[in-house]
Structure 1
């Protein structure tokens, strides 16, 4: 009972700070997710039209390399290149977000039956008409699945952005380690988990909706 009372008192005392850390965490995560969608979805679509397999493989290999670099190491690499703070954190996390969305969108477009595309051509659909009315709607479940996976990863990885001054709930965890404060460590960790679970649930519902469509 005393532990619960102490924890409630901690929240009352640190509420504003916790809210600020949570807001920073969400901002970093959503900026990364938005940037990854804006960049990777068009790139994946373009790659499905490419004839040069070597270039396609090169793009996938580059994205895969970023995925294999340990998160802490990639964040550390950003320091001599971009310094510390928001921008290097966004850059490092964006590089991590490339592969799942790129692979899922590409797979979604390529999985469409070629006869459907040919039929659309025969009906007079332009390249953009086929893309927006046939290919993208058919690939949407794959894209949503990529966004869902990427979101959960990014929410988790954003916690490490605090190591290079990016802010977020990682700051709360690091402060807790520095002060040996279990309440701070627990709160930062559990909030990151809860955010990831809520967003995964939301995107999961969207994914199921588009899969049935």
Structure 2
């Protein structure tokens, strides 16, 4: 009986998902290897003067850093606006404003990204911060919508239980609703990040830098290697950020919900 009981206890202990863990660790290494191979190829093959100028390592590093900055600042702006706005729109007093707010936010999502960024550049001026604002307008909807959906999907009985034990409305929001909504909210943030990585490529049209410079230079000068390098680096950056978002989603979600 003792041996049998011990075996049953051991069987009840869930084994770690080794395959998934290895995949999570291996994926970014594969992405980085692809980027490294692409860059190494550009440094080893014969290049003409135009290709050599566009594919110099300092130039690639600078454009990559500019791309990361565009994604970072636009995503931070989305978080600063979308998270509190999503919370407010799920409160009873402001719920009536939801259709109007979503209609306005949908304009940014529905407008073609190139048209939006060029329009803002005409109204304001070309440059980095104009591109950040355009990316913010284009990628606001996923995080805002997921924040609202995550909070609306919280079981009302949990909210009633929190109020029943004397918690304030803010206490219920902070300790019950937001923790339960975290997985859905983080999914929206992850979508916003990937959207921003891809869309930031068009920032080059208004002189905001980024890896889009390689694409525009490759097209305008008919240098396919420059064009392909820009596309590969943007794709790798998007996959790396998506991987990092997935890791953050698993780590930040309340235990038992992942």
Matched, 1:112 2:154: yes
Q: SS state of the match for residue 51, structure 1?
A: helix
* Greater mean alpha carbon deviation, residues 112-121 or residues 22-31: 112-121
Query: For structure 1, which runs of at least 5 residues remain unmatched after alignment?
Result: none
Aligned residue number for residue 167 of structure 1: 209
Aligned residue number for residue 62 of structure 1: 104
* Greater mean alpha carbon deviation, residues 86-95 or residues 14-23: 86-95
Aligned residue number for residue 134 of structure 1: 176
Q: 2:66 aligns with which of 17, 24, 29?
A: 24
Q: 1:95 aligns with which of 123, 137, 140?
A: 137
Aligned residue number for residue 181 of structure 1: 223
Structure with greater helix share of residues? 1
CA deviation map 1:49-76 (0-9, x unaligned)? 0435441100011111211101111011
Q: SS state of the match for residue 172, structure 1?
A: helix
Aligned residue number for residue 21 of structure 2: none
Query: For structure 2, which runs of at least 5 residues remain unmatched after alignment?
Result: 1-37
Distance 1:125 1:54 in 2: 26
CA, structure 1 residues 160+49, in 2 after alignment: closer, same or farther (shift >3 Å)? same
Higher-Rg member (1/2): 2
Q: SS state of the match for residue 124, structure 1?
A: coil
Q: What RMSD, in angstroms, separates the aligned Cα atoms of the two structures?
A: 2.1
Quote the offset at 1:33 in angstroms: 0.7
Quote the offset at 1:172 in angstroms: 1.6
- Asked whether the equivalents of residues 50 and 56 of structure 1 are also in contact (C-alpha less than 8 Å), the reply is no
Q: SS state of the match for residue 85, structure 2?
A: helix
Aligned residue number for residue 79 of structure 1: 121
Distance 1:199 1:52 in 2: 34
